[in-house]
Chain A
Amino acid sequence: MAVDMKMPILIVDDYKTMLRIVRNLLQKLGFSDIDEAMDGTDALAKLKGRRYGLVISDWNMQPMTGYELLQKVRADDSLKSLPFVMVTAESKVENVVAARQAGVNNYIIKPFSAEVLKAKLKTVLGDF
């Protein structure tokens, strides 16, 4: 099934520069409906209010981290199947293992290239 390039995507990061970078890269890939949140709490509120097709989240944020957001998403019946990609500088084995066990769909290490983002999104969403 073809990927719906108009599906809403939520990007979550506490650094505005990163939000801009990810938004620009997604737009370049052809996605047009992109929302932003500055931390897990903000993201969770947005996820409750709208049906998104994908979440791309940083890990290290306050007051709610991306990892906690992932756990809450997976624990919520209405959100648990939502594709969730972690984009983070947290690159220790224990982080990747924890994210995998919490149900992350993919994990991208910062800094990353547009090519890596594209490849990982294809893995999660299918070809586009």
Chain B
Amino acid sequence: MAETGKLDLVERLTNECIDLCRSVLRGRKLIDPLVDPAFRTERLKRALDEQKTAIGEMEMAVDRIMSAVERIGEIDFSARADAGEQIASCCEEIMEACCFQDITGQRLTHVMGTLGDVRKGLDELAGGRQSANASPAASGLLNGPALPGDAMEQDAVDKLLASGGK
């Protein structure tokens, strides 16, 4: 009887160990997409870089717009015959600066995609459900705005086009 009790206990402990191992394996599988080096070192790092760059770009755009507005404020309309020209030039400057909305919008879309995948991974961990694959990063030729130091300048693009794209 005592032997049977011991065997039952061993069997129960063994089953619990097996369940525990299965849970660990399932948890590892769920967390895999988030701890994947490609995700951490590439997508998460890129998201942080994108956000930092976007903040810098917004600051530069606001500075450019504010400078143009200040220049308009400094125009002496009574003395300057070319006041209209000065204002037109400032307006053009403001318009060019507004390009930032497109660029930063694309950067923040990258960040949102990465955060969305993190949230999905965490939701699945919390719910204990089987992880679906994280959505792939922008593939093919859809890279979005390049990060500083990683972009071609317009002059280089012109040379490349002139060379026939080789």
- Chain A residues with CB under 8 Å of chain B are 13, 15, 17-18, 20-21, 24-25, 28, 58-60, 65, 67, 89-101, 104, 106-114, 116
- Interface residue from B96, B103, B152, B165 paired with A92 (Cβ < 8 Å): B152
Q: How far is the CA of A101 from the CA of B163 in the complex (A)?
A: 11
Given contact pairs A21-B96, A90-B146, A98-B141, enumerate 15 new A-B contacts (beta carbons under 8 Å): A13-B102, A18-B101, A18-B102, A25-B92, A59-B142, A60-B144, A65-B141, A89-B106, A89-B144, A90-B141, A91-B151, A92-B143, A92-B150, A96-B165, A114-B95
CB of B98 within 8 A of CB of A17, answer yes
CB of A100 within 8 A of CB of B106, answer no
19 A-B residue pairs with Cβ-Cβ distance under 8 Å, sorted by A, are A17-B102, A21-B98, A25-B92, A65-B141, A89-B106, A89-B145, A90-B143, A90-B145, A91-B145, A92-B141, A92-B146, A92-B151, A93-B160, A96-B157, A109-B151, A109-B154, A109-B157, A110-B102, A112-B99
CB of B98 within 8 A of CB of A100, answer no
Q: How far is the CA of A101 from the CA of B166 in the complex (A)?
A: 9
Q: How far is the CA of A104 from the CA of B105 in the complex (A)?
A: 25
Given A67-B141, A100-B165, are A24 and B95 neighbors across the interface (CB < 8 Å)? yes
- Chain B residues with CB under 8 Å of chain A are 92, 95-103, 105-106, 141-146, 150-154, 157, 160-161, 164-166
**Which residues from A are CB-within-8-Å of B153?**
109
Q: How far is the CA of A96 from the CA of B162 in the complex (A)?
A: 11
CB of A17 within 8 A of CB of B101, answer yes
> Which among A13, A96, A108 has the greatest number of chain B C-beta atoms within 10 A?
A96
Q: How far is the CA of A5 from the CA of B92 in the complex (A)?
A: 20
Considering only CB atoms, which chain A residue lies closest to B107 in the complex?
A89
Considering only CB atoms, which chain B residue lies closest to A88 in the complex?
B145
